Amino acid sequence: MPTPNSLDGLIEKASKYLSKEQVNRIKTAFEFGKHAHQGQTRKSGGDYIWHPVAVAEILAEIQLDQESLIAAILHDVVEDTPYTKEDIIEKFGESVAEIVDGVTKLGKLEFESPQEAQAENFRKMILAMARDIRVILIKLADRLHNMRTLGVMRPDKQRRIAKETLDIFAPIAGRLGINAIRIELEDLGFKAMHPMRYAVLENAVRKARGNRNEVIAQITDTIQNRLNQENITGQVIGREKHLYSLYKKMRNKRQNFVDILDIFAFRIITNSADDCYRTLGSIHSLYKPLPGRFKDYIAIPKSNGYQSLHTALFGPFGVHLEVQIRDKTMHEVSEHGIAAHWQYKQDEHSEEHTPSHVDVRAQEWVKNLLEIQQSAGNSLDFLENVKIDLFPDVIYVFTPQGDIITLPRGATPVDFAYAVHTNIGHSTIACRIDKKLVPLRTQLETGKTIQIIKGSHSQPNPAWLNFVNTAKARSQIRHFMKNQKTDEAIKLGKKLLSQSLRKHNMSYSGLTDDIQKTLISALNLSSWEQLLEDLGTGNRMSPLVAKQIHDTVLGSDDQIPDNNPRSEEDTPLPISGTEGMLLHFANCCHPIPGDDIVGFISAEKGLVIHRCHCHNVKSIKNLSEKCLDVNWAKSPEGTYLAELQLETTNQRGALATIANEIAKTNTDIERVRSEDKDDTYSFMYFAINVRDRIHLAQVMRRLKQLSIVEKIHRI
């Protein structure tokens, strides 16, 4: 038996599937790593080199290629020793160096918080993983060995590392189908996070195991005999749920330990997919199946490529049986996931390699992570989005063409649209489920056919963020909104600066490139568009910038000639109601088309529209640099909120009568409240959506005709 701190275990495992020349290269990498880490020790006191050797040994157990094992031995060299990436390229080649670089943390950069450092490290790892999937396999093996030796750390550090393992690394192993590593990471993380709960549960399982073994052995023999009678070659294994799985089931389903342990689990491994279905029929004739508990993951694999038949049965002695049926290849994939089928295990001289469904699904997931990364605002947003993506209690739905789309439970048509393609998500306006029109916030169910209805000029609605359930949809909507807000801010900023320049008898069109460069240099900005964006969002005041252009840039006696005094830029800004996120209608006065209005520039909000007679405008008008001359466009679009106060007589059904009358005018009621004035009269307040003042007048005239309405006025 090889000792823990030796190279023997790694060499023994690697020699089973690698050539002698490849094994010698691994020995060379060991000598290089040993010299690089000379004098370094771990918290346990042992030489540091035995940690990367142990990581490589974990990878050798799942028979990864020689480059993976070499990179595993060297994975801390660049971070912790004077050697550089170039040194590794020179000695072991660029491929190994790229893997090492992908695993290396960002230890030399400074971050505002440990959370930000963790998030940025994770972002870098995902980017490296997209270039070479071996990066994440080494990282998982590295984390597994660290968890195995976690006991030397302080309790608080143990809990922090364990939480990170349960939140990120175990789910990643699950998404890549590497269940052997996922299960061990989960159990070790559970032990470090909740040592007392782990000890109690472990002790309870140990005590119950003796009583269960006889039952498991008897059921195993019965199933094996039935398979022999049917001439099906298969291995029957009675399996135990691992401790973290038991703990999660007890916690999530609020069941006690005895109830969970009453479920006996078995795995049947056959020679082919055809044998799997024959086995299913055989055991269904032996024990009655529980209704609604059969799942066919062979025909429709899980998102990580996992394939198996799952069924639940009424077993002997009044116990329930959970049975998984799979062939040998499926079992290998279940245990090792992408590491069982990926391209680096192919013969080096093979010219053709057909990616397995596991490879394809893993690459699709990595591609999805890259899209999320590109649209995330920062590393913390990215990490939070990925955490959402790592816990998918999945459903399977169909496109109209019959393609299967995998989504997390709770996903909506908007999530589906973005899963198909970002542009489809952006242009979604409605959805049909099994040919029936449904709201976009409807939660999807397995087996349904989803059809997205697109609009040629439609765009994402910020309200979608309140109900979407996937990381991709959330990040793409936010990314679009951010870009849209920037474009709107630049357009508004240009308008504001044009009007302010006019007060100095200058024109925006007269601002030359030299003038713009001088100004952005004086203001320490990166571009002219950044200045316009700051003006549009209210972070800078256009009159002050215009004065700076006049006084500082040009000199107080110079002027930019106003060659176009009646240009479109200098007329009052027309308001159409569709300007987007930088236009807000004030809640204090609820302006609607037809009202006299004034604009007010507010930091971060952009342009806020008030009615001219609003009581808040009196103080605003004194701040001339923040006011903007605006008017309504000829044909404003959409509807606008207006509030009415009604004084009504107290009688049964008054509220319903008024609401019904408003509905007859094709007017939507946003909200309503009422309060008693006295024993005879009540006040009712309606917030309604109207097109303009004419529409509002029609509603008010109709309500005045009701006998129960004494007075009505707009608030």
pLDDT in tens, 270-322: 999 899 999 999 999 898 888 888 888 888 887 667 789 999 888 887 778 88
Mean pLDDT of 614-622: 73
What's residue 243's pLDDT? 85
Strand 668-676: give its sheet, edge to edge: 668-676, 681-690, 640-649, 709-714
pLDDT tens digit sequence for 666-700: 888 888 888 888 888 889 999 888 888 999 999 99
In eight-state DSSP terms, residue 4 is: T
Mean pLDDT of 347-355: 44
pTM of the model: 0.56
- pLDDT for residue 565 is more than 60: no
- pLDDT for residue 646 is more than 80: yes
pLDDT tens digit sequence for 384-425: 656 555 555 677 788 888 777 878 888 899 999 998 888 898
Residue boundaries of the structural domains of the chain? 8-196, 197-341, 479-632, 640-714
Mean pLDDT of 210-234: 85
Using 50, 70 and 90 to split pLDDT, how confident is the model at 144? very high
Residue 233 near residue 270, CB atoms below 8 Å: yes
pLDDT tens digit sequence for 499-545: 778 777 777 777 878 888 888 877 888 888 888 877 777 777 777 78
What's residue 106's pLDDT? 45
Total residue length of the chain: 715
Using 50, 70 and 90 to split pLDDT, how confident is the model at 488? confident
Using 50, 70 and 90 to split pLDDT, how confident is the model at 347? very low
pLDDT tens digit sequence for 3-14: 566 788 899 988
Which helix (H) or strand (E) is 710 found in, with range?
strand 709-714
What residues are labeled active site?
79-80
- pLDDT for residue 494 is more than 70: yes
**Over the chain, what is the mean pLDDT?**
79
CB atoms within 10 A of CB 653: 9
- pLDDT for residue 345 is more than 60: no
- pLDDT for residue 344 is more than 50: no
Using 50, 70 and 90 to split pLDDT, how confident is the model at 380? low
Q: Which two tokens stand for residue 581?
A: 């996120």
Catalogue the E-assigned strands of 566-705. 573-575, 583-585, 597-602, 606-611, 627-628, 630-632, 640-649, 668-676, 681-690
Query: Quick one: fold of 197-341?
Result: Beta Polymerase; domain 2 (3.30.460)
Separation of alpha carbons 699 and 705, rounded Å = 10
Which helix (H) or strand (E) is 184 found in, with range?
helix 179-193
Mean pLDDT of 325-353: 62
Domain 8-196, what architecture? Orthogonal Bundle (1.10)
Return the CATH superfamily for domain 640-714. ACT domain (3.30.70.260)
Which contacts of 555-560 are long-range, i.e. CB under 8 A and separated by 24 or more positions? 559/504, 559/505, 559/506, 560/501, 560/506, 560/507, 560/510, 560/511, 560/515
**According to DSSP H, which parts of 194-288 are helical?**
195-229, 243-253, 257-261, 273-286
Of 117-131, 342-356, 484-498, least confident by mean pLDDT is 342-356
If DSSP codes are grouped into helix, strand and coil, which group holds residue 272? coil
Separation of alpha carbons 68 and 98, rounded Å = 11
What's residue 619's pLDDT? 67
Residue 334 near residue 177, CB atoms below 8 Å: yes
CB atoms within 10 A of CB 546: 23
b/e 60-74 (16+ beta carbons within 10 angstroms → b): bebbbbbbbbbbbbb
